[in-house]
Amino acid sequence: MPGMEMASLPAAIHAMEALPKAEGSGLVCAVPPRASAAGFAASPVAAEAAAEPPQDVTAGAGTAYQSRTRAGMINRKPVRYLKDPYPAFSAIAVNAENDMVMVTDENLFRVVEYSRRDNTPAKTQITEPRRVIGGPDTKTEMMCGAYIDPQTLDVYVTNNDTQNWLPVFSREARGNAKPERMLMTPHRTWGIAADEQRQEIYLTVQDPPLVIVYRKQAVNNEAPLRILEGDNTELADPHGIALDMQRNLMVISNHGHRRFYGGDGHAINTMTQPWEQWVSRLDDLNSPPRERLLGVGQFDLPSITIHERGVSGNTKPLRVIKGPKTQLNWPSHVAVHEGRGEIFVANDADDSVLVFRESDSGDVAPIRVIKGARAAVKNPTGLSVDEKNNELWVASMGNYTIAVFPIAANGNAQPLRMIRGGPQDHTALMIGNPGAVGYDSKRKEILVPN
Amino acid sequence: MHDIRYNEVNDEILVPNPFSNAILVFRGGANGQEAPIRIIQGAKTRLDGPDRLDVDTMHREIFVPDGGRVLVYPLDGNGDVAPLRVIEGPDTLIAGQSLAIDPINNLIAVTGRDRSILVFDRTANGNVKPLRVIKGEDTQIDRINQMAIYPQGKLLVVAMPGRQGDVEPPRVFVGMWSLDDNGNVPPKWTINGDQSTLRKPFAVALNPDNKEIYVTDMRLNGVMTFSVPEIFEPVAR
């Protein structure tokens, strides 16, 4: 992990609090004081000279809860603290007509806005976003999907597996803003796309694997319009979703983790209460209750499944792109360029962007691959296509970077522009939703799955 | 991924995968896109989306909390392996979100219904009652994530991230109970408060040699190390 030394961090971090240096190569920092709601709203103009790390809207002192104990409440500082002070850009949505680039940040729990013309100079540490939405009132945490309404410029954000809400923010929302409205969504919701003609939003849910469609204006515990789910769908830990309105297609990326419903392959709905009651329960994880085969599962190859846009139930895809030639490896967000008939895939675990034809099927090689040191694509999860300017936007979680490419870019391509939220050439810690920790006593290492 | 355990006897890492219904075992030094050396998966396993686990290297078993039951597999199990034992049934009171093993005192701590911690004998099987139930308002339990045990001290350490759905829950802490505790008892110790900086602790692991607890905090996306020598005191057996 080059550059991840205490000495390379901005001076402000050192000054915050004197904590021991970590063993190993991780970032160590102290928690800065909690920001006020007004305090972290960025200036309206992008300030490219900024050198400080972004304000962590979640940072601050611990809770004030005074626990009742028998031997004592241990209220002491950690002796070491691993934490990346820079953003983890996860999802990106671009509205070129209104110069809006909305990016979700899964590390500091913010939605940030840039201009599509922003370009961080090499000698500059970071580009400050011109708008920041973040804080406990926003109901945002592990934000993995973003969508901009082309009419209202509202921003829709999906939370994954720590909050079961889909908040919608107005064009004016800043700071610790309450959402304009919220929709209760199933646990593990990931991708988002919208059909503006029918005024519907499409969401992927990782497990049980499904595509769920709501009215675009749905709020609170409203029931979905339809669900695509079942063994025949070949959905397998679905992530990204994109719609091609010209060809009436729905394109889904799948990581390949599967469980099976068995029998005739139909999804079995075992819900014992109306959707509106079930989804509003806060006493469990709100995973749609489903009966699936015990013990049976599969590590299938990652895939792109292509479906008719309006399908529901246990319907087979029209075609599937899958196999070793595809190079798919944790395919995350997908986008389509309707004019070119192409599918773009943020290929997270391969540090690449893959491009396929929408007509592709089976074990086919991508027609283009963006990858290499110059391209600066590192663990990309976010991706958006700007058909107006024929540009491809790629958000990388691994290097604090948003890169803009010409739509036909191929190979180790030089980005047209880059927006950096952290120092150049640093590798991000990529600790995201650390749900467990282990200790390897042989190597004296801390194990942190994400 | 909501659990990870290190098997220091065989130098292996174990993780559950709920989306593929499997338990994966990796080399201890695994790195990059390395394949697991063993996978427990298949109809005989009866797994139903395993989310957490723990390892008993002394008796060479893997324990998996699985909804209303606990499944026990051989440590070297591979493929479609039937559980050695299953603790399940109405008398168990199990709501299996999390679990930890004490191989020295032969005990299992597992989450139970109504925000409780249940303590069973390590060899429990079938529809058995827990030996002890830690439950009630004085426990201050809202939700339990990962758990760990310091067997020499007969001490259970639990990550308490607060109520599901709260962005910044008001009542969060790392809680510690004796495995002999029973009923509506406050924790022996907690780690929390403004100095701790904890906001939503999701997981705990213990390093008795250094007298440290490692805590991951979801709201901070960080990993903290707390030096807590006072909790690593062996108890007489």
Q: What angle do CA B102, B103, B104 make, to 5 degrees?
A: 95
Q: What is the pLDDT of residues A350-384, one digit of tens each?
A: 999 999 999 999 999 999 999 999 999 999 999 99
Which of A13, A31, A34, A70 is the best residue to mutate to test the B interface, defined by the most B CB atoms within 10 Å of its own CB?
Answer: A70
Mean pLDDT of the residues in chain A: 87
B129: nearest Cα among B70, B73, B89, B96: B89
Q: Which chain A residue shows the shortest CA-CA distance from B187?
A: A69
Counting one residue from chain A and one from chain B, the pairs whose CB atoms sit within 8 A come to 273
Residue A36 in this model has a pLDDT that exceeds 50: no
The pLDDT of residue B1 is 82
B19 part of contact set with chain A, CB < 8 Å = yes
Q: Which chain B residue shows the shortest CA-CA distance from A26?
A: B223
How far B120 CA lies from chain A's nearest CA (Å)?
23
Closest partner CB to A65 (pick from B164, B170, B189): B170
B31 part of contact set with chain A, CB < 8 Å = no
Residue A11 in this model has a pLDDT that exceeds 60: no
B146: nearest Cα among B2, B7, B48: B2
- For tokens 């022996």, the residue is B188
Q: What percent of chain A has pLDDT over 90?
A: 75
Question: Which of A222-236, A259-273, B28-42, B192-206 bottoms out in mean pLDDT, i.e. has the lowest?
Answer: A259-273
Q: Do B172 and A65 touch (CB under 8 A)?
A: yes
Structure tokens at A383: 């991706």
Q: Do B3 and A436 touch (CB under 8 A)?
A: yes
Q: Do B165 and A258 touch (CB under 8 A)?
A: no
Q: What is the domain partition of chain A in residue ranges?
A: 87-447
Buried b (16+ CB within 10 A) or exposed e, A373-389: eebbbbbbbbbbbbeee
Question: Which of A58-67, B92-101, B155-164, B176-185 bottoms out in mean pLDDT, i.e. has the lowest?
Answer: A58-67
Q: What is the pLDDT of residues B73-130, one digit of tens each?
A: 999 999 999 999 999 999 999 998 899 999 999 999 999 999 999 999 999 999 999 9
Question: Is the interface score ipTM higher than 0.95?
Answer: yes
Residue A187 in this model has a pLDDT that exceeds 50: yes
A164 part of contact set with chain B, CB < 8 Å = yes
- For tokens 């675990």, the residue is A349
The pLDDT of residue A270 is 61
Residues of A in Cβ contact (< 8 Å) with B69: none
B169 part of contact set with chain A, CB < 8 Å = yes
CA dist., res. B72 & res. B85, Å (int): 5
Which of A184, A292, A296 is the best residue to mutate to test the B interface, defined by the most B CB atoms within 10 Å of its own CB?
Answer: A296
CATH class, range A87-447: mainly beta
Is 0.95 topped by the overall pTM? no
Domains belonging to chain B, first-starting first, are 1-133 (2.130.10.10), 136-237 (2.40.10)
Return the bridge partners of A76, or none.
Answer: none
